[in-house]
Every structure is written in structure tokens, then in C-alpha cells.
């Protein structure tokens, strides 16, 4: 099997799986308790918190464990907006048109709840329009959410510039960034330093599914979504997923240690994949500015081919890739990201995302360069004949 869907999820690092194992078995204590079993779990949880804080450039007290990236996004966007409105600081929420649905859906919710929500346009390269962003900001803006790396086309957003505009134009606003896709590729501590709130998700960097974190710098006020026993500074009640937190910390440690060399190894593989497809498939085009993408992202289109059909053909050949954003039903929905970038609908429906990661090899690229052109060739006549 050739797995080219690292942006969807990554295989768990053996180191992370190993680190988690005791906490799925003998070290079972509830970290909130006051006895030996509890202390063992609490110690592991706090060590994990410290490791994660260091890697993300935060204090341990600034790490809130969540059930994943989407929960972190929800907690940041809804939590900060509601807390700010309750404090009378304003009602404006500003985001972009091509955020992950973990941000867009909470923004829709806030809009229904009476917030003024502005979704700022992005350009055809897949970069937020800073002029439009500036125009959307005012002194009643309470939350600005701009992702660090787009999940579909992999483009890196100019977060420092965004932060500069926010500080100048919207002094009361909290800046959130969804950094879920950034961890394997960027030094998130540095790249997100200007943000008040940062979302990450363990399974995107070799950790387990079902655990993530929100970095909350400097006591930014947040209203919790989940209330109960007051765990995680009262921001996320419920017994913490100790094994998940330990696995996440270990995966982040491994990722941080290998990141520079991995990026240097994977970028040429991705470039060879993109160049090889361009050479072998007529009309092949790339979505998102190649110069401003993370090293693992190859988002390409093949005119005259339906991505949905192509993915089935590739799956039958043992190649895993993705298109659009998969909803829970498994149906391919037309990509809101490509639509936001102004990619014509036909081109969007002909586009697939190939995403590489830490276990990708040159042999994977070689195989993909055989399978994809062959599948496109096979599907093209049938499609054009029916049009």
C-alpha cells in the first residue's frame, strides 16, 4: 500500500505507542485523585504537559488538553468570543473563507448567536488577503482566527503579518490560529508566537487520535464548552486522557527532534512527485502556491477526470489519497477551500490531495508516478466520451 494521506492522519510512531502502553494497562489511575495510583498518572500527565509546552513555546499552565483539533478550535473560537462579549469588549469575529470546518462551523454558530462574523477572502494562491483582513478589523473585534497551514492545499499563512494588523486595528481581539497541519513542517513555537490561542492535534504528527491541545497564552479569557469537575483549569472538565496526552507528548518530541531533517528529506520527494505528474499527465495543474506550501503537500488536478472516480481507481490499486474534505459519510464534498481560492468548480472536482509524511519513501513516489498517470489515462476517455 502507498499511503499519501498524511494530512488526514499519520501512522502512530512506535515510540508514542510504546509510551502510551503502560497507561492503557497497569498505570490506570485517575490523575485527579489523592493516592499512589493517582499520583503516577498525574506525574505522567504533567510531564507530558511540560514536554508539549516546551515544544510549542508555552508554559505548562498554558496547555489545555482537549479531545482533538476540532475541540481545541471550538474552545478557542466560541470560548474566547463568548467570554469577550460577556465582558462587554465587543461582538466582532473575523476569520477566513478557507479555514477548517472546526473553525468555520463555530463561526457559523456565533453568527446565529448574534456575533458579527466576517469571513475574509483568500487569493488564488491560497493566502489570506491581508487588505481584506485589515478592513474587517475594528475595535469591537474580539476574536480573529487564521489558520497557520491550510489543510487542503498546504499553504502557510503570514501569521506574523496577521498579528501585526490585529494588534494595530483590533486591540481588544484575541488571535487564534489552527496549527493542526503545521506541526510536522514548521517550528510551531516560532511560527505561532504571535498568537494568543493555538490548536494542535496529536494524530497529525504521529500521535494517537482523540487527543489535542489548545495553547492559551497569558490567561486569555475563555468560557468553557464542557463543564464539570473543573479539570484543565476549568476550561475542559472531564478526566484527562492520560495515555493520549503521554502519546501526544512523545510524538511531539520525536517530531520536533527530526523535523528539520525530515522536511529536507520529504520536500524533494514531493517536488519529484509534482514534477513527475506534470510531465506524465497532460494538463496537470497544482492548487496553492508551490513556493508557500509545507513540504508534504501536493495538491494537483487532472482536467477531464473526476477526482471521486480517480480515488476509487487508485484505492483499488493500493494507493490512498484524498479529495475535498471528507465528511463523516465518506462522500467527497466539493472543496470549500478551492472554491474560496476561486478555483473553477470543474477544476476543483478534478483535484486530489497527495500528502506525504514521515514514513513516505522514494519508492512510494515511484509507485505513485506509475499508478496515477495510468489511472488518469484509463479514466479520461470514458469521461470525455460521456460529456
The residue within the footprint of another protein, chosen from 161, 271, 308, 377 (CB under 8 A), is: 308
Site membership for another protein, residue 330 (CB under 8 A): yes
Task: Give the nearer residue to another protein in terms of CB position, either 38 or 313.
Answer: 313
The residue within the footprint of another protein, chosen from 316, 342, 359, 362 (CB under 8 A), is: 316
Task: Give the nearer residue to another protein in terms of CB position, either 200 or 375.
Answer: 375
Smallest separation (angstroms) from another protein to the CB of 137: 34
Smallest separation (angstroms) from another protein to the CB of 348: 12
Site membership for another protein, residue 332 (CB under 8 A): yes
Site membership for another protein, residue 379 (CB under 8 A): yes
Task: Give the nearer residue to another protein in terms of CB position, either 271 or 317.
Answer: 317
Smallest separation (angstroms) from another protein to the CB of 9: 18
Smallest separation (angstroms) from another protein to the CB of 309: 6
What track of x and - describes contact with another protein for positions 287 through 306 (by CB under 8 A)? -------------------x
Smallest separation (angstroms) from another protein to the CB of 83: 33
The residue within the footprint of another protein, chosen from 312, 346, 361, 362 (CB under 8 A), is: 312
Site membership for another protein, residue 346 (CB under 8 A): no
Report CA dihedral (299, 119, 209, 226) to the nearest 10 degrees. 180
Helix (H), strand (E), coil (C) string for the chain: CEECECCCCCCCCHHHHHHHHHHHCCCCCCCCCCCHHHHHHHHHHHHHHHHHHHHHCCCHHHEEEECCHHHHHHHHHHHHHHHHHHCCCCCEEEEECCCCHHHHHHHHHHHHCCCEEEEECECCCCCECHHHHHHHCCCCEEEEECCCECCCCCEECCHHHHHHHHHHHCCCCEEEEECCCCCCCCCHHHHCCCCCEEEEEHHHHCCCCCCEEEEEHHHCCCCCCECCCCCHHHCECCCCCHHHHHHHHHHHHHHHHHHHHHHHHHHHHHHHHHHHHHHHCCCCEECCCHHHECCCEEEEECCCCCHHHHHHHHHHCCEECECCEECCCCCEECCHHHHHCCCCHHHHCCEEEEECCCCCCHHHHHHHHHHHHHHHHHHHHHHHHHC
Task: Give the nearer residue to another protein in terms of CB position, either 114 or 330.
Answer: 330
Question: What is the biggest distance separating any 2 CA atoms in the chain, rounded to whole angstroms?
Answer: 72
- Strand-pair category, 92-96 with 351-355: unpaired
C-alpha distances in Å from residue 353, one per residue of 324, 325, 371: 8, 10, 15
Q: Does residue 233 come out as left (phi exceeding 0), alpha (psi in the -120 to 50 range) or beta?
A: left
Task: Give the nearer residue to another protein in terms of CB position, either 260 or 312.
Answer: 312
Of the candidates 284, 298, 320, 327, the residue annotated as catalytic is: 327
Site membership for another protein, residue 387 (CB under 8 A): no
Task: Give the nearer residue to another protein in terms of CB position, either 164 or 303.
Answer: 303
- Strand-pair category, 319-320 with 2-3: parallel
Candidate segments 112-120, 158-166, 257-265, 327-335, binder of another protein by CB under 8 A? 327-335
Site membership for another protein, residue 328 (CB under 8 A): yes
Site membership for another protein, residue 88 (CB under 8 A): no
Site membership for another protein, residue 313 (CB under 8 A): yes
Q: Which three cell numbers stand for residue 29?
A: 489511575
* 327 belongs to the catalytic site: yes
Candidate segments 15-23, 165-173, 203-211, 310-318, binder of another protein by CB under 8 A? 310-318
Site membership for another protein, residue 382 (CB under 8 A): yes
Task: Give the nearer residue to another protein in terms of CB position, either 197 or 311.
Answer: 311
Site membership for another protein, residue 386 (CB under 8 A): yes
Q: Which three cell numbers stand for residue 220?
A: 486569555
Task: Give the nearer residue to another protein in terms of CB position, either 38 or 320.
Answer: 320
Q: Which three cell numbers stand for residue 193?
A: 508566537
Smallest separation (angstroms) from another protein to the CB of 336: 13
Site membership for another protein, residue 315 (CB under 8 A): yes
The residues binding another protein (CB under 8 A) are: 306, 308-309, 312-313, 315-316, 328-333, 378-379, 382-383, 386
Which residues are catalytic, by number? 327
Amino acid at each position: 500500500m502507498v499511503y499519501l494521506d498524511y494530512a488526514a492522519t499519520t501512522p502512530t510512531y512506535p515510540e508514542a505507542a510504546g509510551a502510551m502502553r503502560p497507561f492503557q494497562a497497569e498505570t490506570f489511575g485517575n490523575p485527579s485523585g489523592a493516592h499512589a495510583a493517582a499520583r503516577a498518572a498525574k506525574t505522567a500527565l504533567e510531564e507530558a504537559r511540560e514536554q508539549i509546552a516546551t515544544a510549542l513555546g508555552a508554559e505548562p499552565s498554558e496547555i489545555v488538553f482537549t479531545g482533538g483539533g476540532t475541540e481545541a478550535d471550538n474552545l478557542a473560537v466560541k470560548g474566547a468570543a463568548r467570554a469577550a462579549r460577556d465582558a462587554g469588549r465587543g461582538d466582532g469575529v473575523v476569520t477566513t473563507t478557507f479555514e477548517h470546518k472546526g473553525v468555520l462551523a463555530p463561526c457559523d454558530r456565533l453568527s446565529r448567536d448574534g456575533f458579527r462574523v466576517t469571513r475574509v477572502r483568500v487569493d488564488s494562491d491560497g493566502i489570506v488577503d491581508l487588505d481584506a483582513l485589515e478592513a474587517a478589523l475594528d475595535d469591537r473585534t474580539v476574536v480573529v482566527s487564521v489558520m497557520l497551514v491550510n489543510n487542503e492545499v498546504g499553504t502557510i499563512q503570514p501569521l506574523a503579518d496577521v498579528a501585526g494588523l490585529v494588534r494595530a486595528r483590533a486591540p481588544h481581539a484575541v488571535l487564534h490560529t489552527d496549527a493542526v497541519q503545521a506541526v510536522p513542517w514548521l517550528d510551531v513555537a516560532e511560527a505561532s508566537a504571535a498568537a494568543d490561542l493555538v490548536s494542535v492535534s496529536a494524530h497529525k504528527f504521529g500521535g494517537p487520535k482523540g487527543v489535542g491541545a489548545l495553547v492559551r497564552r497569558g490567561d486569555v479569557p475563555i468560557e468553557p464548552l464542557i463543564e464539570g469537575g473543573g479539570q484543565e483549569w476549568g476550561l475542559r472538565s472531564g478526566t484527562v486522557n492520560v495515555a493520549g496526552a503521554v502519546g501526544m507528548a512523545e510524538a511531539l518530541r520525536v517530531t520536533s527532534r527530526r523535523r528539520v531533517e525530515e522536511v529536507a528529506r520529504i520536500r524533494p520527494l514531493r517536488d519529484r512527485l509534482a514534477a513527475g505528474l506534470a510531465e506524465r499527465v497532460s494538463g496537470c495543474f497544482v492548487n496553492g502556491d508551490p513556493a508557500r506550501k509545507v513540504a508534504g503537500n501536493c495538491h494537483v488536478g487532472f482536467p477531464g477526470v473526476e477526482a471521486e472516480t480517480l480515488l476509487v481507481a487508485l484505492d483499488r490499486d493500493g494507493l490512498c489519497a484524498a479529495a475535498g474534505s471528507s465528511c463523516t459519510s465518506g462522500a467527497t464534498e466539493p472543496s470549500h477551500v478551492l472554491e474560496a481560492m476561486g478555483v473553477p468548480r470543474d477544476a476543483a472536482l478534478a483535484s486530489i490531495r497527495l500528502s506525504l509524511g514521515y514514513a513516505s519513501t522514494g519508492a512510494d513516489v515511484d509507485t505513485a508516478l506509475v499508478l496515477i498517470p495510468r489511472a488518469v489515462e484509463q479514466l479520461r476517455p470514458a469521461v470525455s466520451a460521456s460529456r
